[in-house]
Amino acid sequence: MSQVRGGQRRHFLKVSALTAACLATSRLPVAGGQPARATTVIDGLGEIRVDYEPALLDAILESGVRACVITVGNPALHGPTAFDDVVSEIQVYDRHIAAHPDRLSRAQSVADIDRAVARRTIALIYYPQNAAALQDDIERLEQLRGLGVRIIQLTYNTRNLIGDGCLERTNAGLSRFGVDVVGRMNELRLLLDVSHSGEATTLDAIRMSKAPVAVTHAGCRAVFDHPRNKSDTALRALAERGGVVGIFQINPYLGPNARNTLDEYLAHIDHAIDVAGIDHVGIGSDREHRSIPDTAEERQKLVDELSRLRPVTAAGFRWPFFLSELNHPRRMETIASALRRRGRTTEQVEKILGGNFYRLFRETIG
């Protein structure tokens, strides 16, 4: 277990006890070795799309995944249609889950995740990636909560009324409205996410929130200097307040190579653990759970998708977005095996694969 530093000590005992208590009863098979002990496998931000065939969902279930945070709404929207877009996608997923109760469920609490474990379904947690959907109406937070949302990202790449994104020219912190939004989210037990937020906005949110904060999907800037990756300062602050960072699996954001490998990915996990501690690191794949063909057609699909999310493409588009070793629906098994080969204990693997996010959800959304 990594050494716990400075301000983390006051949180360490509480976190460790909760994490141990929260490991539930879904078994994660480990390819090529003995199965891990019982744990709840959680993707802190992934894609479980409505066009996934039952066989693909079954493969994801076989990997041990029992909860996945999914994006609802186009995060690049800032105008009056942004809120309606989030609501529309929630309705689509509600209908989809209702049509597939044997494989999918909706999670608004850890009790719902526990039920997904017991029923062997994937619990989907709704997550708008841009609080711009609020516009200037803070009471929309309560509306979103009523629709099942439990996690909201404050900013997405650019500036909104709350603060700056990571691709903004400036590095401003939270606005006055942003401070109010943080406070109201705390009151409503909505988990704050700052994955795409700029440095100052990230640090402001962590310091001003009365509850732990998430970075559901990012990497480590010290490993690879990219705007979407978090500084050591941010990682330490996140851990000191009980938060969790989910390490994403986006090839061009993990290293300088045309095709980074599993080793580059694991280097981000290792660094996050060294800086933040084993109790504050998870997986937030930020990718689809299907096998993506390495073809010109799939490349064009991604280009078309990113064109809806500008200015993401300005950050440097590079094909492929996926890592070859993790380009399949049972990627969590691959990660677990790789972590064990690098000397991680079963307890550490359980925390990374889901125990830490489970604890965070229990402390925030309840």
Prediction pTM value:
0.89
With respect to residue 29, please indicate whether it lies within any of the assigned structural domains.
yes
Cis? peptide before 212, omega within 30° of 0: no
Q: Does 28 fall in a domain?
A: yes
Enclosing domain of residue 126: 6-364
Q: What is the pLDDT at residue 19? A: 37
Q: Could you tell me the CATH number of the domain that includes residue 114?
A: 3.20.20.140
User: Is 190 contained in some domain?
Assistant: yes
Contact present, 245 and 314 (Cβ < 8 Å): no
Q: Which helix (H) or strand (E) holds 251?
A: helix 251-254
The C-alpha angle 210, 106, 57, rounded to 5 degrees, equals 125
CB 178, CB 163: distance < 8 Å: yes
- The label of the residue with tokens 């947690």 reads 125
- Does residue 339 form part of some domain? yes
**What does the buried/exposed string (b/e) look like for 105-118 if buried means 16 or more CB atoms within 10 Å of the residue's CB?**
bbbbbbebbbebbe
- Non-local (6+) Cβ contacts of 66 within 8 A are 24, 26, 40, 41, 42, 113, 116, 117, 121, 122, 123, 354
CB 125 within 8 A of CB 67: yes
pLDDT tens string for the chain (366 positions)? 333 333 433 343 343 443 343 333 334 443 333 333 347 999 999 999 999 999 999 999 999 999 999 999 999 999 999 999 999 999 999 999 999 999 999 999 999 999 999 999 999 999 999 999 999 999 999 999 999 999 999 999 999 999 999 999 999 999 999 999 999 999 999 999 999 999 999 999 999 999 999 999 999 999 999 999 999 999 999 999 999 999 999 999 999 999 999 999 999 999 999 999 999 999 999 999 999 999 999 888 888 877 777 665 555 578 898 999 999 999 999 999 999 999 999 999 999 999 999 999 999 999
What amino acid occupies position 227? P
DSSP state of 228: T
Q: 1 lies in a domain?
A: no
Helix (H) or strand (E) holding 219: strand 214-220
Q: What is the pLDDT of residue 250?
A: 95
Q: How many domains does the chain have?
A: 1
Q: Say how many residues make up the chain.
A: 366
Query: How do residues 118-173 score in pLDDT, each as one tens digit?
Result: 999 999 999 999 999 999 999 999 999 999 999 999 999 999 999 999 999 999 99
Q: Cα dist. 54→14, 104, 148 in Å?
A: 40, 10, 24
Q: Is 207 left (phi over 0), alpha (psi -120 to 50) or beta?
A: alpha
Q: Is 179 part of a structural domain of the chain?
A: yes
Distance, in Å, from the CA atom of 27 to the CA atom of 63, rounded to the nearest integer, reads 9
